[in-house]
Amino acid sequence: MKVGIITQARMTSTRLPGKVMLTAAGRPLLDFHLDRLLATALPVIVATTTNASDEPIVSLARARDVAVFRGSENDVLSRFAGAAAEAGLDVVVRVTSDCPLLDPAVITEAVRRFVQIDDPDAHVSNVLDRTYPRGLDVEVFSAAALAEAQREATEPADREHVTPYLYANRTGRATLHAITRSPDASRYRVTLDTADDLTVIRALIEEHDAASLDADALIAVLDQHPELVAVNADVEQKKLGE
């Protein structure tokens, strides 16, 4: 069984263009993101677009000896399905590059749970029943389920956001399995979507060594620094279809 991580990345994000190549402590945030993924020892694929503007993403991935797949900018589902097929994956771990502080241990646990469940229609994540901070998101599902979604999904939101077709159980076969933690830390935000998010992530990396912290230690820093949490507490996450 071949398990691999696919992360989506592009330079044309609307709220904060070029965000994944913005820097903290002198390094692109995408570089921190790749650090976290490579720490799992799983194969990693950066799924970016065919746009010329995404060449910096391709260059950084290749400098890190990370595979690259290039596909549609807006049909991200087809991009993921193409990346999974080209890599010969049986199991797909989906993450997004606007999460530079992902915890490798959370990814590993999600994969362990998926393998233990042994169901090609299982969808394991910490996203649907959210108890982790936004920005530590991971989803695991079979490449077969992804290929079926690629063939059958027609709604624009399904094509853009990759997994709604799976977790909406449009096949009638899907089983959803949540990775949760206690206490609930879903009120925290360590994803990169706005300038305020960038301020928080830079502070975490540059002032609190967040690039070396696991989820629990990162949450502990946020618990201890409400003034930092307040910086992006009012940011509203974009909804499906926006």
Please report the domains of the chain, with CATH numbers, ordered by start residue: 3-229 (3.90.550.10)
Q: Which pLDDT score is estimated for 167?
A: 85
183: preceding bond cis by omega (within 30 degrees): yes
Give CA–CA dist 24/206, Å, rounded.
Answer: 7
Rounded to the nearest angstrom, the gap between the alpha carbon of residue 234 and the centroid of all alpha carbons in its chain is: 21
For 192-204, the pLDDT digits (tens) are: 999 999 999 999 9
For 146-196, the pLDDT digits (tens) are: 999 999 988 888 898 899 988 888 788 889 999 999 999 999 999 999 999
Give CA–CA dist 219/213, Å, rounded.
Answer: 9
Q: Which pLDDT score is estimated for 242?
A: 45
Where the chain has pLDDT below 70, the residues are: 238-242
Give CA–CA dist 232/236, Å, rounded.
Answer: 9
Q: How far is the CA of 82 from the CAs of 3, 45, 60, 94, 106, in angstroms?
A: 15, 11, 21, 13, 25
